[in-house]
Structure 1
Amino acid sequence: MSVVKKKKRVSKKNKKAWGKYCDIRDVEEFLEDQRLEERLGKFETKPDSELFVVDTAGDNKDEAEDKKPPISHKLQKRAKLKEVPKCFEVLLPTSKVQDPNAKRNHVNPIGSKPSALSKLREKRLAKKGVFEKKLAEAKKNRKLAIDKKRKAKQVRQNFNLDLWGKDLPESKGIPETLVDEFISPEAQLHNVLPTQRLRPKPPLAKTVVTRAAVETPHPGVSYNPSYQEHQDLLQQVGQHEQKMMKREAHLNRVTTGMFRKVTQQQKENQWLEEMSSGLPQPHNPAEDSDPPSDNEYKAINPPVKNKKKDHKARRKQKERLEEKERLKREKIDKKKITDLYKLRKLQSSIKTREQQQVEERAKRAEKRAIADATALPTLSAHKTPVKEPDFVDPKELSGDLRNIKSTTNLLRDRFESLQRRGALAASKVMMKKKRKLKSYFKPGHKVTDKDIEKYVTRSAGKK
Structure 2
Amino acid sequence: MSKRVSFYQSSNMAAARRLKRVVASQPGFLKLKSTSGSADSVSSRRKRVNKNKKKSWNKHSDINDVEDFLEDVRHQERTTGGLLSEKPDDSLFFLDVGQPKKKGKTSRPLRIDLILQHDSLIPPPKDVLAYQQPNAKKLRRIAQKAEQLAAKGVVPQRRKQLPSRRPADRKAKKSVTEANNNPDREYYDIWGQEYSADPWYLQQTGKKLVNRPEKLNEKPSVLPAVEVIAPGGSYNPDFFSHQALLREAHEVEVKKQKEEDKIERQVMVNKADTATEETILREQVEGLVEEENEEEMAPNEEEEDVAVGGIALAEKKTERQRKKEKADKIKEQQRLADRQRIDQHQQLFQLRSIKASIKQQEQGTKDKQKVRKAKQEAQKSQPRRLGKLKFQPQDLEVQLSDELAGSLRRLKPEGSVLKDRFKSLQKRNLIEPRERAKFKRRHKVKYVEKRAFREIT
Q: Normalization by structure 2: what TM-score?
A: 0.32
